[in-house]
């Protein structure tokens, strides 16, 4: 979780596949908790079109280029056709003649097609109306009057993504699928949901908020607040980073919609009425206020016809009046102080204050200015060579940058923020002085040319790297700018903007320094925000909630109390009643692709006997390198420190390079180097597992020798001397792990619950569980960190050599011969142990890769042999754990040891997990219990996991897990339920795999 948050904070317009949207102020229809629980992907897929990387031969682009400006198609008029060769796409912009709805189609030879519709939603209070509406429109519509067609469609489709997001000023409804019939089905459901929703009172009660008896069947029990969004937001407000980001946006843009919490503040949500919800829908969810987006290789005409006929013909044009006016600029800086809950995992309890200085920047519809400011922001805060890293992080005052550091382009005017978290309150002014001084120094000294080049290189790699969720990334990337009438196509022309940026630097060497002066030094619209913990914060919140509840209950007449009780019963009955879902469209099991695409792999051995797997793929001129090294010989006492070793080994310097020079070289020559622990349970035995470390990196073809030289230096001469820099890295890691708990509590609960069920479980807990969070907290608190630093060279001896190594390369066929030479040289240049080290655990099983596995292709005799660990004395045992955390919501997990992946029952259990989640647990945990998320799943490692996420209950949820097993035993499901579960499982099995990841199931 910590690493994931670090990546999220590195900003950039990237949307994760399991996105709950940006950390900032984005709220989603359902938690992606289930997907994030998946320890290992089961996905194998149909590849992207083989000609994706050859621009001219793409049928999707050729079709799009035939449209002409002024063409009339299915009620729409084409007003722009633009090829964007650097992203292999053609953009077609249209307008709907009758309603004025805007439409952008991005044609690209990609089988994972995406649709989204977005509405500008500008609430003026913190009742969470756009967020509750986003949940409620998906609870049934005119054409599909069933309860919650959205969740029902998850099991009737082969979608690769389905969700909905509420941002500060827009609401977005995206889905993606590779199946044309599925696309039409989902489009029909989404269109009807947003334009013709039922918006029933009981759905508002369930999804938003309601007063209900603690036991709905007993009117003598006290009334309490319940509701999915109500509990989701209570959970969100336990995340101090998110709270800080929310306050920052509210205070730097205080004049209009950005001054409120679009997701809803838990104390304000109960002020929202059903009438207000319906009014908000009528005024905001209209085609004249909508932006449609489609992406992929399906034909555009079919999309336009369906959208026009099923929705848009039923509307007339209106003036939506949802514009966000420009923020009135301040004439002098402002300051604001707020409080939050304490962090029980903070390294130093006396240092829990956060402070940042933020500056209002340009309007985001000025695309080139925004591009420049985004780059400038990266130069200021990105990596150990940036001026603010040197001045703030290395000053030793705090643990990490403040939340939302850098450029934020999600509001009409962008802003930049920089500061520290984990500081003592008395250091607030010192931090402000350092920020002012650093800005002066940057104006004076400017930036090194190499750092600018490294940044432009990063853009080049991002453009060439292909992800399977490219459509989702695009819709997220253009959403804010398009929302305020900016040109989304102009936003995609990276090559033009990069060329213009280079031109500006050439014409004026002080170009960037002038921008720093303009936007930072001479800008009075700046906000200093500080946030300190208050011991009684959660108690005060609870008291305010109790007062709100009392006020609401006392306002009820006897008759209204009776009606509240009766409505509670009515809602329970409705939730428990079986539904006729026959009106919903569905794919059949026969629509599942019957064959799995084979991935051709070649394996050969280097002169040193190290196996290397080669996978030729259309990677667009990018090469992907991975290696796995075994942990089998590592002494037991060093094992807990492996994750720390992984996180610092590429950041401490190597060979002749200091850590700053190393960071610069990594940015200039690669798309990043990463190292992480690797634990895989064997396919056929639950008590046998592999333990190791994965090294991974990517680079442009031309930089391959440089990338392999970096790895060689890291393996041969890593630096472990700089104690001060090590301290900085430790504090950052500890802070990230601690900040990650509110967002990933269900993952920590699941890892802990499975700890005693398999021998690998103990290691998972040590590396990825609460044990690791506590260990990092202890290390960060140490007055003398030398003893820990001295462990790293000892770990290096066991890990960084070619003894127990295997490598893999994904690259274009033309690049493979050159890659083979580079890998051969790397293996030759790194150390081999002089004497053979014995494994610490004596029971080692040697197992060759199965050449008949699905991804196998034809393997040569150079098979990869893994050295797996087993413990014949291991006995699984029961264990119950309760972590006391200062949050008003819970994260609950129960894990059951089942069977290995190759056992016949594994497939049945995987279907069962999906059945339980969709047909039983969703109703019990989310609809009745009010938790934000919950379900069941079977992982590759044979652990069957029940979980809940941001859950107001605890004992009741554990009882629901128990009842789910009883429900399954009683066989209370139909053949159709089983078929639907199969569709949901196969949507994951056949999920697309990027060229960079082909063959990885086999290799890892």
Q: Is 134 a catalytic residue?
A: yes
Percent residues over pLDDT 90 in the chain? 82
Q: Is 894 a catalytic residue?
A: no
* Torsion 11-13-19-22 (CA) sign: positive
Closest CA to 266 of 302, 300, 237: 237
Pair of tokens at residue 528: 């200093």
Q: How many CB atoms lie within 10 A of CB 551?
A: 10
* Torsion 459-460-465-471 (CA) sign: positive
Least confident span in 280-284, 351-355, 528-532, 604-608: 604-608
Task: Report d(CA 665, CA 709) in Å as an integer.
Answer: 11
Task: Report d(CA 866, CA 675) in Å as an integer.
Answer: 19
Closest CA to 889 of 936, 947, 948: 948
Residue 878: pLDDT over 70: yes
Task: Report d(CA 441, CA 435) in Å as an integer.
Answer: 10
User: Half-sphere exposure of 529 toward its Cβ, with a 13 Å CA cutoff?
Assistant: 30
pLDDT of residue 840: 77
Phi (first) and psi of residue 697, to 5 degrees: -160, 165
Bridge partners of residue 356, in order along the sequence: 419, 529
Indicate the average pLDDT of the chain. Answer: 91
Distance in Å from the first CA to the final CA of the chain? 21
pLDDT band at 54 (very low <50, low <70, confident <90, very high): very low
Least confident span in 55-64, 377-386, 719-728, 824-833: 55-64
| CA angle, 895 then 898 then 903, to 5° | 150
pLDDT band at 31 (very low <50, low <70, confident <90, very high): low
Pick the catalytic residue from 20, 109, 207, 924: 207
Least confident span in 517-526, 573-582, 942-951: 573-582
Reduce the DSSP state of residue 402 to 3 states and report it.
coil
Looking up tokens 């897929």 gives 45
| Greatest C-alpha distance within the chain | 86
* Torsion 601-674-893-208 (CA) sign: negative
Reduce the DSSP state of residue 653 to 3 states and report it.
coil
With 0-12 / 13-18 / 19 or more C-beta atoms within 10 angstroms meaning exposed / middle / buried, residue 128 is buried
Pair of tokens at residue 569: 């019963």
Residue 960: C-alpha distances to residues 31, 417, 921, 948, 981 (Å): 19, 44, 7, 10, 20
User: Half-sphere exposure of 986 toward its Cβ, with a 13 Å CA cutoff?
Assistant: 22
Pairing of strands 622-630, 413-423: unpaired
Residue 829: pLDDT over 90: yes
Pair of tokens at residue 326: 């420009």
List, for residues 790-804, the tens digit of each pLDDT value: 999 999 999 999 988
Reduce the DSSP state of residue 408 to 3 states and report it.
strand
Q: What is the DSSP letter of 103?
A: E
Pair of tokens at residue 454: 């490294």
Task: Report d(CA 560, CA 223) in Å as an integer.
Answer: 12
| CA angle, 901 then 906 then 912, to 5° | 145
pLDDT of residue 147: 86
Average pLDDT over residues 556-561: 95
Residue 39: pLDDT over 50: no
Pick the catalytic residue from 134, 690, 771, 855: 134
pLDDT band at 862 (very low <50, low <70, confident <90, very high): low
List, for residues 562-588, the tens digit of each pLDDT value: 999 999 999 999 888 888 889 999 999
Looking up tokens 């750092």 gives 451
| CA angle, 104 then 997 then 9, to 5° | 65
Residue 785: C-alpha distances to residues 349, 423, 424, 659, 727 (Å): 18, 19, 21, 19, 7
Q: What is the DSSP letter of 834?
A: S
Reduce the DSSP state of residue 239 to 3 states and report it.
coil
Average pLDDT over residues 463-490: 94
Q: How many CB atoms lie within 10 A of CB 870?
A: 16
Q: Is 406 left (phi over 0), alpha (psi -120 to 50) or beta?
A: left
For residues 379-397, one letter each, b for 16 or more C-beta atoms within 10 angstroms of the residue's C-beta and e for the rest, the string is bbbbbbbbbbbebbbeeeb
User: Half-sphere exposure of 654 toward its Cβ, with a 13 Å CA cutoff?
Assistant: 22
Task: Report d(CA 695, CA 711) in Å as an integer.
Answer: 9
Looking up tokens 């994706």 gives 52
pLDDT of residue 37: 53
Residue 32: C-alpha distances to residues 36, 133, 140, 365, 984 (Å): 6, 19, 21, 31, 15
Pairing of strands 161-162, 170-177: antiparallel
Closest CA to 964 of 907, 915, 931, 927: 915
Evaluate whether 25 touches 166 at the Cβ level (below 8 Å): no
DSSP symbols for 162-193: E--EE-SSEEEEEEEES-HHHHHHHHHHHHHH
H helix runs in 329-391, sequence order: 367-381, 387-391
Pairing of strands 611-616, 805-811: parallel
Q: Convert 255-293 into a string of H (helix), E (strand) and C (coil).
A: CCHHHCCCCCCCCCHHHCCHHHHHHHHHHHCCHHHEEEE
pLDDT of residue 40: 29
Residue 204: pLDDT over 60: yes
pLDDT band at 593 (very low <50, low <70, confident <90, very high): confident
Q: What is the DSSP letter of 923?
A: I
DSSP symbols for 381-419: HSSTTSHHHHHTGGGTSSSEEPTT-EEE-SSSEEEEEEE
Task: Report d(CA 848, CA 852) in Å as an integer.
Answer: 11
Residue 385: pLDDT over 50: yes
Task: Report d(CA 638, CA 630) in Å as an integer.
Answer: 14
Q: CB-based contacts of 432: which residues, under 8 Å, 6+ apart?
A: 355, 357, 528
Residue 38: pLDDT over 80: no
pLDDT of residue 864: 84
Average pLDDT over residues 238-258: 95
Evaluate whether 96 touches 287 at the Cβ level (below 8 Å): yes
User: Half-sphere exposure of 367 toward its Cβ, with a 13 Å CA cutoff?
Assistant: 19
Identify the residue with better confidence: 836 or 993: 993
Q: CB-based contacts of 259: which residues, under 8 Å, 6+ apart?
A: 250, 253
Altogether, the residues listed in the chain come to a count of: 1004
* Torsion 107-108-112-118 (CA) sign: negative
Evaluate whether 258 touches 168 at the Cβ level (below 8 Å): yes
pTM: 0.89
pLDDT of residue 14: 23
Q: How many CB atoms lie within 10 A of CB 331?
A: 7
């Amino acid at each position: 979780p910590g690493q994931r948050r670090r990546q999220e904070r590195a900003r950039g317009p990237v949307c994760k596949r399991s996105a709950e949207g940006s950390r900032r102020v984005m709220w989603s229809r359902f938690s992606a908790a289930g997907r994030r629980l998946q320890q290992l992907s089961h996905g194998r897929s149909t590849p992207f079109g083989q000609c994706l990387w050859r621009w001219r031969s793409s049928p999707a682009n050729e079709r799009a280029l035939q449209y002409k400006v002024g063409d009339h198609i299915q009620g729409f008029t084409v007003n722009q056709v633009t090829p964007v060769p650097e992203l292999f796409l053609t953009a077609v912009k249209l307008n709907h003649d009758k309603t004025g709805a805007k439409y952008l189609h991005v044609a690209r030879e990609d089988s994972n097609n995406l649709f989204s519709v977005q509405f500008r939603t500008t609430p003026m209070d913190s009742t969470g109306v756009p967020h509750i509406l986003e949940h409620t429109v998906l609870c049934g519509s005119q054409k599909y009057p069933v309860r919650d067609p959205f969740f029902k469609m998850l099991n009737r489709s082969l979608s690769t993504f389905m969700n909905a997001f509420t941002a500060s000023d827009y609401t977005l409804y995206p889905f993606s699928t590779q199946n044309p019939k599925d696309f039409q089905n989902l489009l029909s459901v989404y269109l009807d949901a947003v334009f013709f929703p039922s918006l029933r009172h009981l759905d508002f009660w369930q999804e938003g908020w309601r007063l209900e008896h603690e036991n709905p069947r007993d009117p003598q029990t006290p009334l309490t607040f319940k509701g999915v969004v109500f509990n989701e937001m209570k959970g969100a407000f336990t995340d101090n980073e998110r709270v800080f980001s929310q306050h920052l946006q509210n205070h730097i843009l205080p004049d209009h919609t950005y001054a409120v919490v679009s997701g809803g503040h838990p104390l304000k949500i109960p002020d929202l009425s059903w009438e207000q919800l319906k009014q908000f829908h009528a005024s905001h969810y209209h085609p004249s206020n909508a932006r449609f987006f489609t992406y992929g290789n399906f034909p555009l005409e079919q999309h336009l016809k369906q959208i026009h006929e099923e929705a848009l013909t039923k509307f007339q044009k209106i003036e939506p009046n949802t514009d966000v006016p420009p923020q009135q600029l301040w004439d002098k800086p402002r300051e604001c102080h707020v409080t939050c809950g304490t962090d029980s995992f903070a390294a130093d309890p006396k240092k829990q204050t956060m402070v940042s200085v933020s500056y209002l920047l340009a309007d985001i519809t000025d695309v080139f200015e925004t591009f420049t400011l985004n780059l400038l922001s990266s130069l200021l805060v990105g990596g150990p060579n940036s001026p603010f890293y040197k001045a703030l992080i290395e000053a030793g005052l705090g643990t990490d940058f403040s939340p939302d550091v850098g450029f934020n382009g999600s509001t009409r005017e962008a802003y930049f923020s920089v500061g520290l978290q984990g500081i003592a309150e008395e250091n607030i002014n010192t931090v402000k002085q350092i920020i002012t001084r650093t800005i002066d120094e940057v104006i004076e000294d400017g930036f090194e040319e190499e750092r600018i080049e490294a940044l432009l290189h990063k853009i080049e790699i991002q453009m060439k790297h292909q992800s399977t969720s490219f459509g989702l990334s695009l819709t997220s990337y253009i959403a804010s700018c398009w929302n305020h009438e900016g040109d989304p196509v102009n936003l995609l022309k990276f090559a033009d903007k990069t060329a213009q940026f280079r031109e500006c630097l050439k014409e004026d060497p002080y170009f960037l320094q002038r921008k720093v002066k303009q936007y930072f030094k001479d800008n009075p619209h700046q906000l200093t925000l500080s946030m300190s913990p208050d011991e009684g914060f959660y108690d005060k919140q609870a008291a305010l909630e109790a007062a709100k509840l009392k006020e609401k209950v006392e306002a009820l007449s006897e008759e209204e109390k009776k009606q509240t009780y009766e409505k509670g019963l009515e809602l329970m009955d409705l939730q428990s009643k079986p539904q006729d879902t026959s009106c919903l469209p569905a794919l059949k099991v026969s629509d599942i692709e019957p064959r799995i695409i084979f991935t051709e792999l070649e394996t050969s051995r280097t002169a040193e006997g190290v196996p290397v797997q080669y996978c030729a793929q259309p990677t667009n001129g990018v090469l992907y390198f991975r290696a796995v090294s075994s942990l089998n010989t590592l002494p037991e006492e060093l094992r807990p420190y492996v994750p720390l070793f992984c996180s610092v080994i590429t950041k401490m310097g190597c060979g002749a390079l200091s850590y700053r020079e190393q960071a610069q070289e990594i940015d200039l020559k690669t798309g990043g180097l990463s190292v992480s622990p690797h634990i895989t349970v064997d396919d056929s035995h639950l008590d046998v597992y592999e333990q190791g470390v994965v090294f991974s990196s990517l680079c442009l073809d031309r930089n391959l020798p440089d990338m392999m030289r970096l790895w060689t230096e890291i393996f041969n001469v890593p630096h472990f001397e700089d104690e001060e820099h090590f301290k900085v890295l430790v504090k950052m890691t500890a802070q990230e792990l601690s900040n990650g708990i509110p967002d990933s509590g269900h993952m920590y609960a699941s890892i802990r619950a499975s700890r005693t069920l398999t021998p690998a479980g103990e290691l998972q807990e040590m590396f990825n569980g609460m044990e690791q969070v506590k260990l990092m907290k202890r290390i960060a608190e140490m007055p003398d960190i030398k003893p820990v630093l001295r462990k790293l060279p000892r770990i290096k001896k066991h890990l960084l050599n070619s003894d127990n190594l295997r490598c893999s390369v994904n690259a274009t066929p033309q690049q493979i011969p050159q890659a083979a030479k580079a890998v051969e040289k790397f293996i030759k240049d790194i150390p081999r142990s002089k004497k053979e080290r014995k494994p610490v655990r004596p029971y080692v099983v040697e197992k060759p890769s199965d050449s008949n596995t699905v991804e196998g292709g034809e393997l040569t005799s150079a098979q990869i042999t893994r050295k797996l660990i087993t413990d014949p004395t291991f006995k699984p045992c029961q264990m119950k754990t309760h972590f006391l955390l200062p949050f008003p919501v819970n994260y609950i997990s129960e894990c059951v040891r089942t069977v290995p992946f190759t056992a016949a029952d594994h497939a049945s259990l995987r279907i069962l997990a999906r059945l339980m989640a969709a047909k039983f647990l969703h109703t019990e945990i989310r609809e009745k219990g009010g938790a934000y998320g919950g379900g069941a799943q079977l992982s590759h490692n044979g652990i069957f996991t029940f979980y809940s996420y941001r859950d107001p209950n605890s004992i009741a949820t554990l009882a629901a897990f128990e009842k789910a097993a009883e429900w399954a035993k009683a066989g209370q499901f139909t053949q159709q339920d089983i078929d639907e579960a199969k569709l949901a499982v196969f949507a994951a099995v056949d999920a697309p795999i990027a060229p960079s990841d082909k063959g990885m199931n086999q290799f890892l």
